[in-house]
Amino acid sequence: MNIVVVGGNGLVGRNVVRRLRAKGHAVTAASRATGVDIVTGAGLAHALDGAEVVVDVSNSPVLVGEAPCEFFKAAIANLLAAEAAAGVRHHLALSVVGTERLDDSPYFRGKKFQESRIRDSGIPFTIVHATQFFEFLLDIVEVSVYDQALRLAPAYIQPVASADVAACLAELAQRPALNATIEMAGPERERMSEIIQRFLTQIEAPYEVITDALAPYFGARLQADSLLPGAKARTCATDFGAWLGQSEYWGADW
């Protein structure tokens, strides 16, 4: 198959591209590095010429403020228009568990808009809702830290390894569209404040975690289950210890 991976040079995208090429598919990694800008639409028509499947794992370069919402609105409009013109037969999108429950967050509001446009596009689709990546724990630290301390909600999360998500996406890209949303998560459920503290302790980062039920998560207030998947979610095998032992953060110099 001719498959285009949008965001194909990113964390998940590189892994998806590698897996699909190993299966013998013709795969194009589309990103700004390859001259494709989904916000402006530049390069999209050329990148999607002849594409049968589009895997969208792109993400906003800015995670806070209104910028993420604007990114997702512009990107999905351009991407779906280009797919319709190219005759794409399957749009496979990566999104986040809890998106529909977090309207206070511009990031999640943008993702919700993105998903709505996908469902209404007329293009066969599959949406994958993944829980937070283990790799995303550092992003949570960076947006939450102030004066060597982090205020984090005690809401539960069930993080997943990005490699497990990439494997799932590569598998789905080779199958017919489901015209549905599926969920996937890691094997361990833990309060956000506790797993972040465990992460910081393991990598010897000099930060203190303060549990605060009112602490926002990318602009949204969390309930205990806001970020948890449903009972039918696909559970992946890689746990926190296994992921950390092979991650780039092990032994980092803080």
Q: Is 129 helix (H, G, I), strand (E, B) or coil?
A: strand
Query: Greatest CA span in the chain, whole angstroms?
Result: 52
> Nearest CA to 4 among 92, 81, 71, 72?
92
Query: pTM of whole model > 0.85?
Result: yes
What is the percent of the chain with per-residue pLDDT over 90, rounded to a whole number? 85
Kindly tell me if the per-residue pLDDT of 27 is higher than 70: yes
| 75-104 pLDDT tens trace | 999 999 999 999 999 999 999 999 999 999
Which domains, and CATH codes, for the chain?
2-245 (3.40.50.720)
How would you label 170-179 residue by residue, b for 16+ Cβ within 10 Å and e otherwise?
Answer: bebbeeeeee
| 206-253 pLDDT tens trace | 889 999 999 999 989 999 999 999 999 999 999 999 999 887 765 544
Kindly tell me if the per-residue pLDDT of 254 is higher than 60: no
What is the percent of the chain with per-residue pLDDT over 70, rounded to a whole number? 98
